[in-house]
Structure 1
Amino acid sequence: MTTSPVTAHVIRSDAEAIAVAHRLAARFAVEASARDRERRLPVVELDEFSASGLWGITIPKEYGGAGVSYVTVAEVIKIISAADSSLGQIPQNHLGVLDILLQTATEAQKRYYFGKVLQGHRFGNAFSESKSKNAGAFETRIRFDKDSAQIDGEKFYCTGALFAHIVPAVAVDEDNKAFIAFIERDNPGLTVIDSWDGFGQRTTASGGVTLKAVKVPLSAVIPAHRAFDVPTADGPISQIIQAAVDTGIALGALEETKRYAREARPWIDSGQDHGWQDPFSIAAIGDLEWRVHGTEAILRKAGQAIDAALLNPGEDTVARASVVVAQAKVLSAEIALLASSKLFELAGTRSVLGKYNLDRHWRNARTHTLHDPARWKYHLIGNYLLNGVKPARHAWN
């Protein structure tokens, strides 16, 4: 499925990254509904996406990247997700891996893999497992032997792996310490399975990966556990991208709501000639609008907290980043579900017709917000504010 890397443009600034995201989003939106309806995998769109340079914007300037802020990263993912949330989700693990590389790799590894990304290579992921005890437990094993390592296991929810040039896989050693092996897509023993049949986020190809005696050189392995052994912003970075996807879904649904609510027939008791004159519809749109913009404000604040933690990593800065990102995660999940549901209420019965495919917004929101439960975010926030308990450090905080 994956294509050869398309030579990527190198973005130089935050402003350029946002401008490029807007241009791409305008194109991606045109056939987003058709891709969802037909489950047409976005191979061409992904090549354009990674070739745009947006997949390399977090690489620090000293390694040839733009080193943009995480305020900008969240904005970019939000913009793309408002057009097509599957495309917005696919680079999430790619960007997370770039930070783990920055935190735990050797200098030679950083220069090599950052260089690959700047050339247009995409990382997929082989992280999560469906049969382990919980999301943070891994049964995939890595065994070291002199100058190489062997990985064996089975993965699921492997977003982007089908489209990747390199598949980073998480595996644990005999001490249960997690490592990431960077596996070339054509490596013998690596099999990517297009088995994702979820009703939402349909074109992320978040299927499975099997790893059977996959061998890589030691130079392709990094000690990922070190990103959580000490305070780093890797967890908040993973989570803010999730929140940005949900915020984008809400924005996309809200724009559809405005469009279809204007075209809806007025209710019989309203005494109005047009649906857009309905006072209750007007009030509901106003309510959705401030909720979406409030979520955008918290998302920006979360990006600022991550930038502060990266500038001055420590127990307190990383904990604060986790807490503010958790607030963004709660709000973005709530508004994505609310906006995508209100769409039908305000647009009227005709909006449920299959030809419009408007249910994709709710399906995408319901699917993507399940990545980690918002109910635990409320507890994380309250426990920190009330009792001073810092969040546990892992990829979901």
Structure 2
Amino acid sequence: MTAVAADRIASAAQARSVATRLAEEFAVGASERDRDRVLPHAEIARLSASGLLAITVPAEFGGADLPPSVVADVVRTLAVADPNIAQIPHSHFVYVNLLRLAGSAEQRQRYFAQLLDGARIANAQSERGGATVAEIATTVRPIGHRFRIDGTKYYCTGSLFADLLAVLTRLDDPEGNAGLAAGEYIAYLPTDTPGVRIVDDWNALGQRTTGSGTVEFDDVVVERSQLVARSGAVNAPTGYGAFAQLLHAAIDTGIARGAFSAATEFVRSKSRPWFEAGVQRAIDDPLLIQRFGELSVAVVAAEATLAAAGAAVDRAVESDRSGRLSALDRADSTVLKLAGETTNSTAVDAVTDASLAVATAKVLADRAANEVSAALFEVGGTRSAAGDLNLDHFWRNARTHTLHDPVRWKYQHIGRALLHEIAPPLHGVI
């Protein structure tokens, strides 16, 4: 595990202050790291040592237990400075949340202690070759009292910096030898586990330094205590998907703000006015003033909607925590159907509201990040396209990260909820 002396963060104010300080540090050299694909190992080590990666550890285990809205604000702040660094811990926070929702007491005790000491989690979940992204070929099979994992994962963001991999697997146990329910399991594996091979082959046009390459698993042996059933988080109204999507929206919103700030600075200091404007300075061109007003509205709207979505996810998480029912209570409770599951209606309402609020935030963040990062050149003029300036890294990062999941489906879920009163599905991606 990473050997760091991690600080302990105790409040939302402290988390925001630390994030702001680190963002100022990370902004220095961010463009050069992107251009030359210099992996931010030192920066990620500082992020771990700051204690920010442990801010969602529950209070009962010694953590700050900060709500999703604060995590989103931290991620947004980092993304303004360097969206690569902001994306690297995305899966970390998601799989800490999975442990909170579905891990056993022993698993939470073990892994939360490591997180408080600065450990980092990365995902190993996406695959290629299936009919859709939802099909999982990587299997976990019982072998005696242990399990074996075989398969290959792609887009494993943060894997080059991680101590633990959260590996999405499908249980392959037709004889029922393991005594586990059928379904998907997350295996928490130390990155130095025999049979694990992390490949530095990420070559996308943007988000170049996120370490999102390939991870191969060949006869990897794990213990039962390393497996967590994913169903505990995604088959109930827990806000698991809304939280994960909120952080994606935070990254895109941060990119939009970063691109807007760069555009403002460039036009103020380097751009020349168009001759037809009849002004001495570019900033006095009335058409540029108009365009900057439009771009500002897009960025501020994304930021405001992100904040509103964060508050909605906070309410969903709190509703889930306070409203979890025992099996006996559940039998007598008011229930309704959400994506085929029978659940407490208060929690359903809160999670539905959160998912729709996050879907709205995701749409506006996607739009702002792509529009503003492209408009940077429109308002900056020919000089802004100089290769040595690398201003295109804002657009490349926006275009790459917003491919994570299509916003066209966000519109669908919002429309169905309004017209047909159909709650969004529980699949972890809304």
TM-score by length of 1: 0.98
Q: 2:362 matched to 1:329?
A: yes
Cα distance in 2 for partners of 1:130, 1:234 equals 24
Q: What CA deviation, in whole Å up to 9, does each residue of 1:111-155 have, x standing for no partner?
A: 110110110100011111122222221000011245322111110
Partner of 1:74: 72
Partner of 1:7: 5
Partner of 1:56: 54
Q: Contact 1:201–1:368 at 8 Å: present in 2 too?
A: yes
Q: Percent identity?
A: 42
Partner of 1:282: 289
Cα distance in 1 for partners of 2:2, 2:48 equals 12
Q: 2:389 matched to 1:356?
A: yes
Q: 2:196 matched to 1:190?
A: yes
Q: 2:305 matched to 1:298?
A: yes
Cα distance in 2 for partners of 1:186, 1:54 equals 24
Cα distance in 2 for partners of 1:291, 1:322 equals 21
Q: Contact 1:11–1:57 at 8 Å: present in 2 too?
A: yes
Cα distance in 1 for partners of 2:154, 2:3 equals 24
Q: What CA deviation, in whole Å up to 9, does each residue of 1:304-337 have, x standing for no partner?
A: 1111111112222111111100001000000000
Q: What CA deviation, in whole Å up to 9, does each residue of 1:195-228 have, x standing for no partner?
A: 1100100000101011111111111111112211
Paired letter, 1:222: V
Q: What CA deviation, in whole Å up to 9, does each residue of 1:275-327 have, x standing for no partner?
A: 01111111111111122111111111111111111111222211111110000
> In the TM superposition, what is the alpha-carbon distance from 1:67 to its structure 2 partner?
1.1
Paired residue for 2:353, among 320, 325, 330? 320
Cα distance in 2 for partners of 1:147, 1:57 equals 35
Q: Contact 1:5–1:165 at 8 Å: present in 2 too?
A: no
Paired letter, 1:361: F
Q: Contact 2:370–2:399 at 8 Å: present in 1 too?
A: yes
> In the TM superposition, what is the alpha-carbon distance from 1:261 to its structure 2 partner?
1.3
2:216 aligns to what SS in structure 1? strand
Paired letter, 2:306: L
Cα distance in 2 for partners of 1:309, 1:69 equals 10
Cα distance in 2 for partners of 1:39, 1:219 equals 37
Paired residue for 2:101, among 100, 103, 109? 103
> In the TM superposition, what is the alpha-carbon distance from 1:5 to its structure 2 partner?
3.0
2:388 aligns to what SS in structure 1? coil
Q: Contact 2:2–2:118 at 8 Å: present in 1 too?
A: no
Q: 2:47 matched to 1:40?
A: no
Q: What CA deviation, in whole Å up to 9, does each residue of 1:25-45 have, x standing for no partner?
A: 001001000100100001000
> In the TM superposition, what is the alpha-carbon distance from 1:395 to its structure 2 partner?
2.1
**Unaligned segments of structure 1, at least 5 residues:** none
Paired letter, 1:307: D
Partner of 2:328: none
Cα distance in 2 for partners of 1:396, 1:133 equals 18
2:157 aligns to what SS in structure 1? coil
Cα distance in 2 for partners of 1:228, 1:144 equals 24
Partner of 1:242: 248
**Unaligned segments of structure 2, at least 5 residues:** 173-180, 321-346
Q: 2:150 matched to 1:152?
A: yes
Paired residue for 2:402, among 347, 369, 376? 369
Paired letter, 2:351: V
Cα distance in 1 for partners of 2:101, 2:215 equals 26
Cα distance in 1 for partners of 2:30, 2:415 equals 38
Q: Contact 2:235–2:427 at 8 Å: present in 1 too?
A: no
CA RMSD, 1 decimal = 1.1
Q: Contact 2:119–2:163 at 8 Å: present in 1 too?
A: yes
Q: What CA deviation, in whole Å up to 9, does each residue of 1:12-33 have, x standing for no partner?
A: 0000000000000001001000
Paired residue for 2:232, among 215, 226, 231? 226
Partner of 2:277: 270
Paired letter, 1:290: V
Paired residue for 2:418, among 385, 390, 394? 385
Cα distance in 2 for partners of 1:265, 1:176 equals 64
TM-score by length of 2: 0.90
2:155 aligns to what SS in structure 1? coil
> In the TM superposition, what is the alpha-carbon distance from 1:177 to its structure 2 partner?
0.7
Partner of 1:181: 187
> In the TM superposition, what is the alpha-carbon distance from 1:176 to its structure 2 partner?
5.5
Cα distance in 2 for partners of 1:132, 1:167 equals 22
Q: Contact 1:169–1:183 at 8 Å: present in 2 too?
A: yes
Partner of 2:330: none
Paired letter, 1:127: Q
Partner of 1:344: 377
Cα distance in 1 for partners of 2:166, 2:234 equals 17
Q: What CA deviation, in whole Å up to 9, does each residue of 1:67-93 have, x standing for no partner?
A: 112111111000000100000001010
Deviates further, 141-150 or 70-79: 141-150
Cα distance in 1 for partners of 2:293, 2:418 equals 31
Cα distance in 2 for partners of 1:25, 1:227 equals 31
Mapping 1:164-175, distance limit 5 Å: 164-174=162-172
Paired letter, 1:299: L
Paired letter, 1:362: W
Paired letter, 1:306: V
Q: 2:309 matched to 1:311?
A: no
Cα distance in 2 for partners of 1:230, 1:131 equals 29
Q: Contact 1:74–1:303 at 8 Å: present in 2 too?
A: yes
Deviates further, 376-385 or 170-179: 170-179
Paired letter, 2:272: R
Q: Contact 1:261–1:281 at 8 Å: present in 2 too?
A: no
